[in-house]
Chains A and B, each alone.
Chain A
């Protein structure tokens, strides 16, 4: 039966409240960046991108981490807030990029500058990553889960190529190779946990 818009239990409301609160906490570093922007627009663009990448990395390692620490498994539903914070951080990153380009251009000339470099490896990977992350972000709600049914998981898995492209973007756009390697190594390393059998926390008697 289709649930009505107002037909939510107290648990649903509480769950939503926790998700929004966590999202707000995760967005705080990005908001703080905007409140104290400094005088280097490129540094601001890079910092916002790093925060978005950090939350994206956390979102994609939560499942393998829950195999290492089984107590985390019951908190996996919080991944929605982490993923949405990563996407929102990416949108802020894009907005700051446009503002940075505006600071180097004649009025209205930022779009020509953006178009000029759109197909360079560092920028193209960023655009593609954002497009891939858009779909899982749009589908990160209960209504989309009900509507998409079995297709919901494949849509969420687009976050994987999105994360890979975001890492390449981070590596090549401006001297970010070592940081991208560290984050990528950590993500790849934790994925190995998916192949280990889950151990019981209780010892056999």
Chain B
């Protein structure tokens, strides 16, 4: 019984981190993407405070403070800078349909 329990625990530990966490996928290649600093500048112009911006799932993922909303994690199309997804601490505020 002890062995079964140990095996179950090992399986739970190994199986957990294998799950994916990606939220959005964009198909643009690195060459097609507009510079990420342009997106940051655009957002600052709109009143955002940008904490961090990076590529995730081919999209631009931005962490920052969105006006009238607060701290968010947002995804943008790297070519058009169109807003694709906005989440605030586990609450999805916007998702492009």
Q: Do A and B interact with each other, yes or no? A: yes
A interface list, Cβ under 8 A from B? 40-42, 68, 101, 103-105, 113, 116-117, 120-123, 172-175, 177-179, 181-183, 185-186, 189-190, 192-193, 196
Closest-CB distance, A108 to chain B (whole angstroms) = 14
Closest-CB distance, A110 to chain B (whole angstroms) = 10
With A117-B88, A121-B91 in contact, is A68–B5 under 8 Å at CB? yes
Closest-CB distance, B49 to chain A (whole angstroms) = 5
With A113-B65, A174-B73 in contact, is A185–B13 under 8 Å at CB? yes
Closest-CB distance, B9 to chain A (whole angstroms) = 5
Given contacts A42-B51, A173-B89, A189-B5, 10 further A-B contacts (CB under 8 A): A104-B71, A122-B90, A122-B91, A174-B73, A181-B16, A182-B16, A182-B17, A186-B9, A189-B8, A196-B1
Question: Would you give 28 A-B contacts (Cβ < 8 Å), ordered by A?
Answer: A68-B2, A68-B5, A103-B51, A104-B65, A104-B71, A105-B49, A116-B71, A117-B71, A120-B90, A120-B91, A121-B89, A123-B89, A175-B21, A177-B21, A178-B17, A178-B18, A179-B17, A181-B12, A182-B13, A183-B16, A185-B9, A185-B12, A185-B15, A186-B9, A186-B13, A189-B9, A190-B5, A196-B1
State the CA gap A117–B12 with chains docked (Å): 32
For chain B residues 1-29, which have a beta carbon within 8 Å of chain A? 1-2, 5, 8-9, 12-13, 15-19, 21
State whether the Cβ of B75 lies closer than 8 Å to any Cβ in chain A: no
B interface list, Cβ under 8 A from A? 1-2, 5, 8-9, 12-13, 15-19, 21, 49, 51-52, 63-65, 69-71, 73, 88-91
With A189-B5, A189-B8 in contact, is A113–B71 under 8 Å at CB? yes
With A42-B52, A189-B12, A190-B9 in contact, is A172–B17 under 8 Å at CB? no
> Chain A residues near B2 (CB, 8 Å)?
68
Please give me the 9 A-B residue pairs with the lowest Cβ-Cβ distance, nearest first.
A182-B16, A185-B12, A172-B90, A122-B89, A122-B90, A116-B70, A120-B89, A178-B19, A121-B90
With A122-B89, A182-B12, A185-B12 in contact, is A117–B21 under 8 Å at CB? no
> Chain A residues near B8 (CB, 8 Å)?
189
> Chain B residues near A192 (CB, 8 Å)?
5
State the CA gap A119–B83 with chains docked (Å): 24
> Chain B residues near A193 (CB, 8 Å)?
5
